[in-house]
Chains A and B, each alone.
Chain A
């Protein structure tokens, strides 16, 4: 009998160790998720006393009939669609170039990593100054080449490209580090074999490097997509707490923030947040399925 009681004992002990972290995650992560999901259905309630008088689909109905929500969806999707692949592509090119460096490798690595470790808020402030129409560094540079001033921050057509550029630039360091690590994990014998088999540099990249980097690139694609869907800080700071000129920078999280803090429409914000949660969940699952299928 004693023989069998032991595993249960160790299991209990393991659970006891896991419990504190689980409690914290439960209270600050899972409870809010379920609460906000539930709150999405509150139509009449007292926020302070948490007393609910009436539930229904009204909030979701509101969200799905709000043109602002569709605009936020559209902007966010465009942003994700361009920022994520572009960010990975540029990081991949730079990582391959850095990987070929012998002496300045760590220098380049640190330079590209810096934006990642600085806070989004401070970097956004710097960017908004650089992009200032009258005093900004960017327009000053353009002037050297005789190009007229561009109203970067007030032209609605410029908002998404600027946000995409910002996100690509800021995420580079992290992606480069991961890709570099993966590159160094590729056995050089594969390249020797590929050369013997007649593969020139580009073919080696295409047939050896890319396929062997795939697990890393898939990981980056999924995590970057999730991160990109949650874009908010850079818009909020760069456009002086506004969603960009003519709402051109209105994103889903901005929409949620706006409903929650500015309009105090907590239930609608909760409903929108839940929609965002579902979108991200759906995309992640789809990507995992695709990655899994290709693996077979």
Chain B
């Protein structure tokens, strides 16, 4: 099912949680809503779910305006951040609940719920209460409950944030595979840029309720439209430096250089810098470098020994330019 948001805004008392957002999501796509907390991504999700009403604008599923359709009639599956499994029901009863609300006969309910429980590897747990399950198991039950009624849209509200790192990566891949198999239009809310990058077809990045960029992970990483996007994506962050003595453009601009775009060369580099800190990670090193008057971070491999105080020669593989307002300047425009 296609989803279109047209100029939707959400006002809570004095605060504008979502400001004039327009978004098209294609059938079967997985789109991440990404942004720092309070950016309006959960509110946007709630408006798609029908749990919140937009103050203005239209929510369109395929060709139907669904603004006035309440959540209970929208045919959506949703996984909540804390899973929201009904504590008084067993796993099976939880999974059957959406079917019960559709007045499906008890035999069919059990049959369908057991089928999906088997599929999600939950069959041994069906008679347990949610409180007797681990976080990962609860997560699986929540997904099973969301999918059992075969919805056209699946919404995931920070579904992995309560799990430990290893399980998070495991379930992330599982969700992706599941989504591919079912070809279900999915919206995934997260504040974790890595998670969004690894799972999505497209990412919508928001800040303070305002649309920033909507693009594929690759495009967003390679061509961030402004300094906010540039610094939000990527770890460690992109170095943003005033363009006084880097480039020869006259305009008051900012130069953005990703840490991995610095190359250490043996001699005759374009720039010289002094190492101020060395941080060793598993597969790479982060170097703090004093470059002209700025401190930058470079991400380099292990092949050399680096010490604090060393002077090194640097080249830059790639850089980004932003104007005084932080907007991206493409090379063609220069």
Contact = CB atoms under 8 A, between A and B. Distances in A.
Contacts of B101: 197-199, 203
A195 B70 contact: yes
Contacts of B70: 195
Nearest to A186: B87
Contacts of A208: 86
Interface string A201-243: 0010001100110100000000000000000000000000000
B76 A196 contact: yes
B102 to A, nearest CB: 6
Nearest to A189: B84
By secondary structure, the A interface counts as helix
Given A189-B84, A196-B51, A197-B145, 16 more contacts: A187-B84, A189-B80, A189-B82, A193-B86, A194-B86, A195-B71, A196-B49, A196-B72, A196-B77, A196-B78, A197-B72, A198-B73, A199-B97, A200-B72, A207-B86, A212-B88
Contacts of A192: 49, 51, 71, 80, 84
Contacts of A81: none
Contacts, number: 58
14 contacts: A187-B84, A192-B49, A192-B84, A193-B78, A194-B97, A195-B51, A195-B70, A196-B78, A198-B98, A198-B149, A203-B101, A208-B86, A212-B88, A214-B88
A208 B94 CA distance: 12
Interface residues of A, number: 18
A190 interface: yes
Interface in A135-174: none
Interface size class of B (residues with CB under 8 A): 20 to 34
B84 A193 contact: yes
A190 B82 CA distance: 10
Interface of A: 187, 189-190, 192-200, 203, 207-208, 211-212, 214
Interface in B29-67: 49-51
Among A198, A199, A207, residue most surrounded by chain B Cβ atoms (within 10 Å): A198
B84 A190 contact: yes
A207 to B, nearest CB: 7
Contacts of B80: 189, 192-193
B103 to A, nearest CB: 10
A212 B88 CA distance: 7
A197 B49 contact: no
Interface of B: 49-51, 70-73, 76-78, 80, 82, 84-89, 97-98, 101-102, 145-146, 149
Contacts of B86: 190, 193-194, 207-208, 211
A185 B272 CA distance: 62
Contacts of A212: 87-88
A187 B72 CA distance: 18
Contacts of B89: 211
A200 B89 CA distance: 18
Nearest to A211: B88
Contacts of B149: 197-198
A180 to B, nearest CB: 20
B323 to A, nearest CB: 42
A211 B85 CA distance: 14
Nearest to A187: B84
A293 to B, nearest CB: 15
Given A189-B84, A196-B49, A207 B71 contact: no
Nearest to B81: A189
Nearest to B148: A197
Nearest to A203: B101
Contacts of A207: 86, 97
Contacts of A211: 86, 88-89
B74 to A, nearest CB: 8
A214 to B, nearest CB: 8
Nearest to B51: A192
Contacts of B97: 194, 197, 199, 207
Nearest to A199: B101
B272 to A, nearest CB: 56
Nearest to A196: B78
B84 A199 contact: no
A193 B145 CA distance: 10
B151 to A, nearest CB: 9
A198 B97 CA distance: 9
A101 B316 CA distance: 62
Nearest to A195: B71
B79 to A, nearest CB: 9
B256 to A, nearest CB: 40
